[in-house]
Amino acid sequence: MAKDPNLPLLYSDDGDGFIVIAHRGASAYYPENTMPAFEGAVAMNAEMIELDVLMSKDGVPVVFHDLSLDNHTDGNGYVPEYTLSELKKLDSGSWFSKNYAGQQIPTLEEVLQFAAGKIALNIEIKTEAVSDIIDGGVEQKSLELVKQYGMEEHVLFSSFDYRVIKHLKKLDPTIPVALLYNKHQSKNQLPHQQVREFSADAFNCSFRQFSKKWARDLREHGIPHFIYTVNSKRKMKKLIKSGVTGIFTNKPDVLHQVKDRF
Ligand code: G3P
Ligand code: MG
């Protein structure tokens, strides 16, 4: 039976209808998209973790944001040029602090194993991992892993590439998917029109794009909406007041403090 609205079930829902999302984990305090960042998010009572997925050369979904390895590892070149075992040799923690030297790029499977039974996930599929082919594509592989770890009711997929929504809904119409606003694919439509066109379950966008008009449109149509990436208390307050469903932040502890004062 479909949930209403079709959003992931939270493990630590405090019942206020607002969702604290740790963006790339608690990434203000730990190297982004690494296990310490995800553990930190759980320790800070985030209700969901957002992570980014790319594919290795040998077709394994890995958790990493940039296509290039240059800024956040000791390697260089692009993620899809390396096999998983080559990527695993890289250090993805030292760029942040020597305390995290030797951290490895996690696979999606490793993060699912960690999150299962503990915390909901927003799995953002990066455009560079997407193709027109559904069979064996990043969406199918990621969905299979999600199901393998019994997380299908605890994940929200999203992507700037709207093909991901189409592919996932074809593979499993019940899996929650958010449309991650991309102005090149949106045809100047209002958020509710875009969400409807793709049979998406939620709308995600940057605080820079989020206008009063969009807030009204989303509220009027009862569409859950999540805004990224907000680290200032002032902006958090403003968005919570406007009734957003959730906020992506690198500082889940700060968002909790702000939210608790409402
Ligand atoms: O999913 C929200 C946000 O993470 C999208 O932008 O570039 O931080 O992955 P980016
Ligand atoms: Mg992201």
List the chain domain ranges. Answer: 19-60+108-260
Q: 24 C-alpha to center of ligand 2: Å? A: 7
Query: What's the pLDDT band for 1 if we cut at 50, 70, 90?
Result: very low
| Pocket perturbation via mutation, ligand 1, pick of 32, 182, 206, 228 by most ligand atoms within 8 A of CB | 228
CA distance 30 to 94: 11
The catalytic residue positions are 23, 65
- Whether ligand 1 lies within 6 angstroms of the CB of 29 is answered as no
- Whether ligand 1 lies within 6 angstroms of the CB of 50 is answered as yes
Q: 101 C-alpha to center of ligand 1: Å? A: 25
Query: What's the pLDDT band for 3 if we cut at 50, 70, 90?
Result: low
The residue nearest atom 7 of ligand 1, judged by CA position, is 65
Residue among 249, 257, 255 at smallest CA distance from 32? 249
Which is more confident, 262 or 192?
A: 192
Q: What is the pLDDT of residues 151-208, one digit of tens each?
A: 999 999 999 999 999 999 999 999 999 999 999 988 889 999 999 999 999 999 999 9
Q: What is the pLDDT of residue 261?
A: 85
**What are 53's strand-pairing partners?**
63, 125
Q: Where are the beta strands (DSSP E) in the chain?
A: 19-23, 48-55, 61-63, 120-125, 155-159, 177-180, 202-206, 225-228, 246-249
- Indicate whether 145 pLDDT > 80: yes
Asked if residue 240 lies in contact with residue 234, where contact means CB atoms within 8 angstroms, the answer is no
- Whether ligand 1 lies within 6 angstroms of the CB of 142 is answered as no
CA distance 52 to 33: 7
- Whether ligand 1 lies within 6 angstroms of the CB of 180 is answered as yes
The residue nearest atom 6 of ligand 1, judged by CA position, is 228
Q: How many CB atoms lie within 10 A of CB 85?
A: 10
- Indicate whether 2 pLDDT > 60: no
Q: What is the pLDDT of residues 68-100, one digit of tens each?
A: 999 999 999 999 999 999 999 999 999 999 999
Architecture of the CATH domain 19-60+108-260: Alpha-Beta Barrel (3.20)
- Whether ligand 1 lies within 6 angstroms of the CB of 109 is answered as no
Query: What's the pLDDT band for 139 if we cut at 50, 70, 90?
Result: very high
The rounded mean pLDDT for the chain is: 96
| Mean pLDDT in residue range 23-52 | 98
Share of the chain above pLDDT 70, in %: 98
Locate the ligand 1 atom nearest the alpha carbon of residue 180 and give its number: 1
Model pTM greater than 0.95? yes
Residue 110 exposed, middle or buried by CB count within 10 Å (0-12, 13-18, 19+): middle
Paired sense of beta strands 48-55 and 120-125, if any: parallel
Residue among 103, 101, 64 at smallest CA distance from 80? 64
- Indicate whether 11 pLDDT > 60: yes
